Amino acid sequence: MLLNIFLNLNSLFNPFMKNSDLNPLSSLEDWEDDILRRYPDPEITKKKDEYRNYNDSHRDSTVREFYRLNHKYQTYDFVSAKEDEFLSFNKREMSIWDALDYLNTLVDESDPDIELDQLQHLLQTSEAIRKDGHPDWFVLTGLLHDLGKVLCLFGEPQWAVVGDTFPVGCSYSSKIVYPEFFCENPDFSDERYNTKFGIYSENCGLQNVKMSWGHDEYLYQILRDYLPKPALYMIRYHSFYAQHREGAYEHLMNDEDREYFKWVKLFNPYDLYSKAPVPPDSKALRPYYEGLISKYLPEKLLF
Ligand SMILES: [Fe+2]
Ligand SMILES: [Fe+2]
């Protein structure tokens, strides 16, 4: 096992690894656009030109490559190594607003299609939740949910920050996008991990299941002591499409998971479909959100 970890990490951080092996997408939003293509808004038929050009074959191939790398490298040992590396929270101390500003430096100015930066996506999500009269911690969850993407700014490859998440330590479901790429993953042929339950037991509960590493789990671990349980479920599992959209991992869920996944499902349309052409006025909204942040969170958090 130790040798495996070494080989995995060694291959991941090989200095000769091309940048395209780390960051095949021209921007993180390409992954989210691909989700929109898979799960289009059932209620709104947007004019084709309001979204990016989904027939762009270059973008299609970079998204494919992104998933190939994600599925190849997200092994049980890889996730364990990332937990060791990041869950000691020794990278940076930031207020939430510092982190939002920091995350916003992810905007890729070379991509002419990007009209909304990261802060605007978060504010649009939270404002849509607020408009529907939901509790204030739900609004705050909308504002915070993608903050874990600061992992990219710590030098992490895109496929270890974004992408659909899924359990590791048991067989990969065919309901996960591009399931064929899992054959390159060493766990695919490891008999400890390649059965329906793998190292887990039936209905053991997601609390006991290790998920592929990315911005969801990282932010959950940062905020786990501060927000109500439904908020934590929304943050931790919002990219777990194979379950909240496809129901592929019922066999690992317990009653509590089933109860709280109602919130994950409620959150998902706000995340996917709240993009509006008019950008929110972050300056005007800031005092309201400063108040909300200070109601639930300490002044500074460790990342
Ligand atoms: Fe996200
Ligand atoms: Fe999001």
Average pLDDT (213-217) is 98
Is the pLDDT confidence value at 8 over 50? no
Separation of 3 CA from ligand 1 center, angstroms? 32
Average pLDDT (169-179) is 98
Q: What is the mean pLDDT of the chain?
A: 89
To the nearest 10°, report the CA torsion of 279, 282, 164, 62.
60
Average pLDDT (87-108) is 89
Average pLDDT (167-185) is 98
Separation of 205 CA from ligand 1 center, angstroms? 22
Reported pTM: 0.88
Separation of 122 CA from ligand 2 center, angstroms? 7
Separation of 87 CA from ligand 2 center, angstroms? 22
Q: What pLDDT is stored for residue 58 in this prediction?
A: 80
Separation of 270 CA from ligand 2 center, angstroms? 8
Tens digits of per-residue pLDDT, 28-44? Answer: 888 888 898 899 988 77
Separation of 145 CA from ligand 1 center, angstroms? 6
Separation of 100 CA from ligand 2 center, angstroms? 13
Average pLDDT (158-165) is 96
